[in-house]
């Protein structure tokens, strides 16, 4: 389990009393598949691609990436280890903007780029990726990320540990087609007077069931995490935004390691000073600690 240039950063947090040495494995893994949240992340990958791409695609990136998720993941790792120095944790932060390739999607072979309609699962590779060499680069990096995460999950879950897939979502459920006109559609959806008509999402959404209602996460961990967030004043839903859908890496891992994974969404306005669409956002450190604390406490209690 190690960082891969231009694909992912792997950070280890070890307690003072945790096992050490080459065979020591973390008992907690926090995976952030949409961890490319900075402008530099977008610009670095864009510079490696030929294109052309739609105008204002960078603005779509700012709206559609999981701002705050990497920082929450690292805060939780540190809080868990601080509470129990016998433990160790790893954070895998994806560096590939989902604007081009989504590392929470299962992409088999050379899957064709495509669009998605309202209510559909967004694609693994977007339709604006047209050049074969661009597609090849994205698929190669996607495969490297998937291999890293699958191997890390096998190590942690095989060690009796827990995996948490950390996401953040926009405050309101804005549902528009993901196609060449995505930014124009989003600007219309975010216009004053229209934005307020979209449903406000829960502060915390635990994505733990398959579409048929099968619980893939540990019921005890789900109950404990929900209780800790509720006690801290956060409203919590289960599978409110979506469920563990086929075709996603989170679902594959949940099915492969029953009761050992937990996927959750955190509302972005709770992680930043002020949520503003279409621009780069930076986190509020105090909010990050506050939102991470209930999850960390629940994970410590469940160990």
CATH of the domain at 151: 3.40.630.40
| Parent domain of 296 | 8-172+200-302
CA torsion, ordered 12, 16, 21, 25, to nearest 10 deg: -50
Q: What is the pLDDT of residue 92?
A: 98
Write the CA distances from 33 to 182, 192, 194, 214, integer angstroms: 21, 31, 30, 23
Name the band, by pLDDT with cuts 50, 70 and 90, for residue 301. confident
**pLDDT confidence of residue 12:** 94
Q: Which two tokens stand for residue 251?
A: 């679902």
Domain presence at residue 183: no
Average pLDDT over residues 278-283: 96
C-beta neighbour count of 108 within 10 angstroms: 7
Q: What pTM does this model have?
A: 0.93
The first and second tokens of residue 235, run together, are 């409203």
Based on the structure, what is the number of domains in the chain? Answer: 1
In a domain, 111, yes or no: yes
Count of all residues that appear for the chain in the document: 303
Rounded distance between C-alpha atoms, residue 100 and residue 128, angstroms: 8
In a domain, 179, yes or no: no
- Say if residues 91 and 166 touch (Cβ distance below 8 Å): no
When the pLDDT of each residue in the chain is averaged and rounded to a whole number, the result is: 92
Answer whether residue 294 is part of any domain.
yes
Residue 115: is its pLDDT beyond 80?
no
In a domain, 227, yes or no: yes
């Amino acid at each position: 389990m190690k960082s891969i240039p231009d694909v992912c950063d792997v950070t280890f947090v070890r307690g003072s009393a945790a096992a050490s040495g080459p065979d020591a494995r973390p008992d907690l893994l926090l995976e952030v598949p949409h961890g490319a949240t900075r402008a530099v992340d977008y610009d670095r990958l864009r510079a490696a691609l030929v294109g052309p791409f739609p105008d204002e695609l960078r603005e779509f990136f700012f709206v559609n990436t999981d701002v705050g998720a990497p920082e929450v993941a690292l805060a939780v790792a540190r809080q868990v280890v601080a509470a129990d120095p016998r433990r160790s944790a790893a954070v895998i932060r994806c560096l590939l903007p989902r604007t081009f390739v989504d590392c929470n999607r299962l992409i088999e072979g050379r899957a064709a780029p495509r669009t998605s309609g309202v209510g559909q699962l967004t694609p693994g590779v977007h339709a604006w990726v047209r050049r074969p060499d661009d597609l090849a680069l994205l698929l190669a990096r996607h495969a490297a990320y998937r291999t890293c995460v699958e191997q890390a999950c096998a190590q942690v879950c095989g060690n009796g540990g827990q995996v948490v897939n950390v996401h953040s979502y926009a405050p309101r459920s804005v549902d528009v087609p993901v196609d060449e006109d995505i930014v124009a559609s989003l600007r219309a959806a975010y216009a004053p007077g229209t934005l307020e008509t979209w449903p406000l999402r829960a502060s915390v959404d635990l994505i733990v069931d398959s579409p048929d209602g099968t619980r893939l996460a540990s019921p005890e961990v789900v109950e404990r995490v929900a209780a800790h967030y509720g006690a801290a004043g956060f409203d919590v839903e289960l599978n409110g935004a979506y469920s563990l859908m086929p075709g996603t890496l989170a679902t594959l891992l949940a099915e492969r390691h029953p009761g050992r994974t937990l996927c959750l969404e955190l509302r972005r306005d709770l992680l930043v000073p002020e949520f503003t669409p279409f621009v780069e956002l930076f986190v509020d450190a105090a909010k990050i600690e506050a939102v991470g604390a209930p999850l960390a406490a629940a994970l410590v209690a469940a160990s």
